[in-house]
Structure 1
């Protein structure tokens, strides 16, 4: 049994991205194992009950939800005080993970949902983003001058939504939201979680992340 955390990830998955952000913010060191979703290794399937990324093995314990991984990491170390936020932050995360993510998927993968109107679904997502833009007026983060776990949890999904139709997103009257996303994508943290790695294979040398 390995005595260090093993972090299964997929580079572009927003759930995996936010978990990597938290591990990085905590300054923890994990063994990163990048996978290809269409060719999941058996060692990963043996780890993740849901067969989804991210998954974190801690000895004989597995964390299989991205938010659980984020909270675990930041409870180990939280030098940026990311867990220090109003209770409303957890409500924003729940809205992001529920109604917003559903509308995002219905927009991005409209062909999978022929009974739904993608324009109506995009409007549902836009209503959430209208609120976030209003919250960001005059400040760089959701709750003021610094990021919290809510920002880390929401930003990868905002990025995913913006990439569905970049021209449409850029044309929306969301100056606070545009600045918020641009700051994130220009950040050192974003650069550090997004390098491309070869997919993990049995016997491969460990690839360390964070620390």
Structure 2
């Protein structure tokens, strides 16, 4: 049982899965206690509520634990969705978004990780791995050619779920990305960066095990 009045979020600032969870919590007007962790020194309190041991983990006051980032996003937006990010009045929209997000989390993340590793170690396969990533990036570019965001002209769950991984892709080789033939994707990413919400999502917090202070993460 979580005896705090707020849910507890175990998080890692640069983790893309944590970024998407924090964005959704802000957009859903959900206040949580945030506990910034270190992967090499995981709190026993975190492992006690989820043996999975990977963040993000959201522990609710009733003792319920949610330890998948998309599930945290959907839980938050089910509490409050003022911007209709779940597209509740559009038939099959959630299913369509889920397909796109699953494609991101499986196919794209695997190729992205290979691209990042090849770049880090100056491997000869870097260009090949990037080109594999571009298959998915090209799909996003095509979607954004006819509308401002991935599902419509306003952001949706899909935009915020996929954003952290496009961010990672853009940072592997910044010079290449700035000259890449993806103007719609570049515009989309810049718009997210320019939103004050993004800066709030990326706020730095002290490591919880060092201070054990209750830090509010709130809209």
TM-score, normalization by structure 2: 0.89
Gaps spanning 5+ residues in structure 2: where? Answer: none
| Match among 170, 173, 185 for residue 178 of structure 2 | 170
Q: In the alignment, does 2:67 pair up with 1:64? A: yes
Q: CA deviation at 1:205?
A: 2.6
Residue pair 1:49, 1:64 contacting (<8 A) in 2 also: no
1:151-201 deviations in Å (ceiling 9; x for gaps): 010001100111111111111100000000111111111011111111002
Q: Give the aligned partner of residue 12 of structure 2.
A: 10
Q: For structure 1, which segment, 190-199 or 35-44, has the greater mean C-alpha deviation from structure 2 after superposition?
A: 35-44
| Match among 122, 127, 131 for residue 119 of structure 1 | 127
Q: CA deviation at 1:49?
A: 2.2
Residue pair 2:33, 2:215 contacting (<8 A) in 1 also: yes
Residue pair 2:50, 2:65 contacting (<8 A) in 1 also: yes
Gaps spanning 5+ residues in structure 1: where? Answer: none
Q: In the alignment, does 2:86 pair up with 1:78? A: no
Q: In the alignment, does 2:38 pair up with 1:30? A: no
Q: For structure 1, which segment, 115-124 or 132-141, has the greater mean C-alpha deviation from structure 2 after superposition?
A: 115-124
Question: What is the SS of the residue equivalent to 2:27?
Answer: helix
**Whole-Å Cα distance in 2 between the matches of residues 204 and 64 of structure 1?**
21
Q: CA deviation at 1:39?
A: 2.1
Residue pair 1:104, 1:122 contacting (<8 A) in 2 also: yes
Q: CA deviation at 1:203?
A: 6.6
Q: For structure 1, which segment, 194-203 or 75-84, has the greater mean C-alpha deviation from structure 2 after superposition?
A: 194-203
Q: Give the aligned partner of residue 188 of structure 2.
A: 180
Q: In the alignment, does 2:201 pair up with 1:193? A: yes
Q: For structure 1, which segment, 30-39 or 155-164, has the greater mean C-alpha deviation from structure 2 after superposition?
A: 30-39
| Match among 89, 92, 103 for residue 95 of structure 1 | 103
The CA RMSD over aligned residues, in Å, is 2.1
Residue pair 2:77, 2:86 contacting (<8 A) in 1 also: yes
Give matches, 1:128-143, under 5 Å: 128-143=136-151
Question: What is the SS of the residue equivalent to 1:163?
Answer: helix
Instruction: Give structure 1 regions of 4+ aligned residues with deviation exceeding 6 angstroms.
Output: none
**Whole-Å Cα distance in 2 between the matches of residues 196 and 105 of structure 1?**
24
Q: Give the aligned partner of residue 53 of structure 2.
A: 51
Residue pair 2:104, 2:162 contacting (<8 A) in 1 also: yes
